[in-house]
Amino acid sequence: MNFLSDKKILLASKSPRRKQLLKDTGFSFTVIKGKEVDESIPEKITGKDVAIFLADLKADAYTNEIKENTILITADTIVCLNDKILGKPKDYEDAFNILQSLSGKEHKVITGVSVRSAEKQISFADETSVKFKDLSKEEIDYYITNYKPYDKAGAYGIQEWIGYIGITEIKGSYFNVMGLPVQKIYEILKKFA
């Protein structure tokens, strides 16, 4: 099924989850370390626009470096509760407060993706709604202590224990919540064949 066998795909990401997801989708690619970028978000943009802005920002760092027959993929995942973006937790207390704010409520996970070659670029975002049950203090404490979700926006990973015991329902793509909307990426990559 590799319709891009004559192309070299680069995934600029530090996330082991994104690497695994793209691999399981059947693509051959090389992971390159994402460049550090200033992730300040312009005022007045929200939701999907923020995720696309951040994915584009990560890709912009490679402007003029994308060689012929090469495709660069960058992505950024944000977690929004009532339009407020929840970042990665600074410490235990911050993680606790974030998870408590998600408890019993529905929030949105949005992943922005930028796909670029020397000739063209396509950016898009995918949104999934995620609903948590009422989490007890003991459950939140157990999760943070054992899983240390300090590298995760929204302070949780859906593929970890808290996703198993705490998430009652999602609407959209599960893999998007994990960090990469692989079904949509598969379709977009066809346009680069």
Active site residues: 76
The two structure tokens encoding residue 181: 């909307």
Cα 117 from Cα 113, distance rounded (Å): 14
Name the minimum Å distance from CB 98 to its own copies. Answer: 20
Helix H or strand E segment including 107 = strand 106-116
Nearest distance in Å: CB 117, its own copies: 21
Q: Which residue shows structure tokens 């995620």?
A: 130
- Asked whether 77 and 108 are in contact (CB, 8 A), the reply is no
| Non-local CB neighbours of 179 within 8 Å, separated by 6+ positions | 15, 17, 18, 21, 75, 77, 111
Tell me how far, at minimum, the Cβ of 34 lies from its own copies, in Å: 22
Complex with its own copies: residue 148 or 171, whichever CB lies closer:
171
Q: How far is the CB of 166 from its own copies (least distance, A)?
A: 7
Task: DSSP letter for 3, please.
Answer: T
Give contact residues for its own copies (rule: CB under 8 A): 1, 21, 24-26, 133, 138-139, 142, 158, 161, 164-175, 182-183, 186-187
When the beta carbons of 84 and 104 are compared against its own copies, the nearer one is 104
Q: Which is nearer to its own copies, 27 or 53 (CB)?
A: 27
Tokens 């891009």 — which residue?
4
Query: In this complex, which beta carbon is closest to its own copies, that of residue 98 or of residue 140?
Result: 140
Supply the Cα-derived Rg of the chain in whole angstroms: 17
